[in-house]
Amino acid sequence: MLISLGLVFVLFALLSVFLLLFGAPTDLTWIWVNFVIGVVLLASGIASNANEIREWLRSGESRRIGKYGSSAVAQAAIAIAIVVLLSLLANRYHWRYDASQAHVHSLSDQTQKVLAGLERDVEVTAFFQKLDQPAVRTLLDRYRYVSDKVKVDYADPNARPDLIERMKIAPEKIGKGLLHVQLGDETVDISEPDEEKLTNALVKLTRTAHKKAYFLTGHNERAVEGKGADEKDGFARAADALRDENYRFETLNLATKGDVPDDADVVIIAGPTQPFRPEEHAALQRYLERGGALFAMVDPRAHTDLVADLDRWGVALGDDAVVDRVQSLFGQAMSPMAAEYGTHEITKDLREVTLFPMTRSVQPRKGAESRFVELVKTSKESWAERDLDTLFNQGRAELGADDLKGPVPIAVAGAPLLDGAKTVAAADKKDDPKKKEARLVVFGDSDFAANETIDAYRNRDLFVNSVNWLLGDVEAIAVRPNKSRASRLTLSTEQFTQIRYLSLFVLPELIAVVGVLAWWSRRRAPGR
C-alpha cells in the first residue's frame, strides 16, 4: 500500500511539473511536498517489503512486467519529449490556423493593410481589470502578431489612477474597460473593443486627409440623416460605413445649390424616384467634365430620368427586373445573389456573395464596352424579366424571347463618355495633367446598401469599396472584419436533387446489393 501511495504522490508531482512547463499556474511548494511525501512513502514501502520484493524480482512474472513496463515507460518518455519540443518550437516560431468558416479568429484583409501601412508606433493601453484582460488580450495579440509597431500595455484602472489622469481620460469613461489608442498626439478611446472598432480607430489616426462625399437629395432618394434615415430602407448605416473610413459627407440639393461644390470628391445618388430638373442634369454633366466621380444606384421601375443621362455617359439600364430561382435569398427569386465578380479593383478581394433585393440589369451600352467593367453578375440560370406588368401584377415570370438571359450584369464601373467619344482622360488631361479622370459606378439596385441589407454577406464591402475607388483611394479597398455567423450550405435545385437521390435510393440500394452478395458468398463457401 505504501508503495502505491508513494507512486500516486510522485505522479502528481511530475504532472504539476509538466503543467508548469506550459505556463499553467502551479505552486512550487505543492510540487515539492508531493514529491517528498511520495519518495518517503516509496522508501518506507520498499524497506518494509524488501524480502517479498526480492523474491518477486527473481520470478518470471517480474521479468515480463519489467520488459513491457520498460517499453511503456520509454514510449511515455518519448511522447513527453515530443510535446516539450513542440512547446519550445511554438514559443519560438509562431503559426496560427483559423478553422472557422468565416475566419472570425483572423484579422481581416482591411486590418492587415492598415497595419502594413503603419509608419510609426501605435501605443495601445488596455484599461481592464485582470479578470477581464484575457478576452482583450486575445484580440490585441492578433495585431501584435501581424505588426511589431503595435505596442500594448495592460493597466488595471483601480491600480493606475495616475495613468488615467496623465492620459486625460475621464474616470466615468472607463466603465468595464477601455482601450486608449495613441498615434503621435492623436488619440481614440474604445469601449467594448472588437476588431472593427479598433481598425476604424487606426484608420482615423493614420488618415490625415479627409475626403468628402455628397448624397444627392430632392428626388426622393434614400435618407442618410434626419427623418427616415434609421428606418430599414434608410441609408444611415451606409453613411456610418463611410464615416468609419474617415470620410466626411453632406447632403446636396442641386436645385438650390445650382452646381456640385468644388470640394466634392464623390457624389452619391441613392435610389431616386423622381425626375431631375434640366439645371440638375447640366450640373451633373459639368461635374463629370471637370473630373468628378459619380455613384448612381437606380432601382427597377424607378420613375427617374437619370436613366437617359447614364445612357449618354455609356451605361445602359434595362427596363427589367432580375429573376433568379437558383441562387437567391431563401428561394426568393426576386432577391438574387452575386454569382461572379468582374476583374476590377472594387471586387478583386471579394470571395463571398453579395445580396441584391430586387435589381435591374446594368451593362455598358453599345460603343462603350471598352470603358466599363461589369462588376457583378447573377447566376447563369437567372434572367432579366422585361414583362414587368405580369411580374408585379400577377407574380408570374417565365424566360421569354425578349428577356435578357443570365448571367445578368447588375453593376458596372469605369470612365463615362463625355461629349460623344471624348473623355476627360483622353481630351483634357493632355492640356492639364493635374486634371482628374471622371469615374462612374452604376448599380441597378439601392436596397443592397440600405440599413436592412448592408450588413448581409459582403454588401458593406461592395458599397464602401465602390466609394473608395471613386475617391481614388485604392489602398483602402479591402475585405473588412468578419463576424460570426451560422454556417450555410447553398445548394442549387440540381444539387439538392442529386443529394436526395443518393441518400434515398443509390446508397441504400448499394448497401442492399453488397449485403446480398456477402450472404451468397458465405452460403456458397466450402463446409456450409
Cis peptide upstream of residue 357 (ω within 30 degrees of 0): no
Per-residue confidence of the chain (528 residues) as pLDDT tens digits? 666 677 777 777 777 776 666 555 556 776 777 778 878 887 887 777 777 666 665 666 656 665 666 777 788 788 888 887 877 776 666 666 665 555 666 787 878 888 888 888 999 999 998 888 888 998 898 898 888 899 999 999 888 888 988 888 888 888 888 999 999 888 888 888 888 889 888 888 887 667 899 999 999 999 999 999 999 999 999 999 998 888 899 999 999 999 999 999 999 999 999 999 999 999 999 999 999 999 999 999 998 999 999 999 999 999 999 999 888 877 788 999 998 999 999 998 888 899 999 999 999 999 999 999 999 999 999 999 999 999 988 888 899 889 999 899 999 999 999 874 444 444 444 455 456 789 999 999 999 999 999 998 899 999 999 999 998 877 666 656 655 544 555 555 567 667 866 776 568 768 866 876 787 687 767 765
Q: How much of the chain is in helix, strand and coil states, percent to nearest 5?
A: 45, 15, 40
> Cα separation of 192 and 176, whole Å?
8
> Cα separation of 352 and 163, whole Å?
44
User: Would you state the cell numbers that stand for residue 318, as one nine-digit string?
Assistant: 434595362
Helix (H/G/I), strand (E/B), else coil: 259: coil
> Cα separation of 325 and 364, whole Å?
25
> Cα separation of 239 and 245, whole Å?
10
Helix (H/G/I), strand (E/B), else coil: 413: strand
Q: In the prediction, which pLDDT does 429 show? A: 46
The answer to whether residues 326 and 379 touch, using CB atoms and an 8 Å cutoff, is yes
Q: Which residue is listed with cell 426576386?
A: 334
> Cα separation of 426 and 248, whole Å?
30
pTM confidence score: 0.65
> How many CB atoms are closer than 10 A to CB 208?
8
Q: In the prediction, which pLDDT does 432 show? A: 53
> Cα separation of 136 and 177, whole Å?
10
Q: In the prediction, which pLDDT does 309 show? A: 96
Q: In the prediction, which pLDDT does 72 show? A: 72
Q: In the prediction, which pLDDT does 22 show? A: 57
The answer to whether residues 439 and 293 touch, using CB atoms and an 8 Å cutoff, is yes
User: Would you state the cell numbers that stand for residue 249, as one nine-digit string?
Assistant: 459627407
Q: In the prediction, which pLDDT does 94 show? A: 63
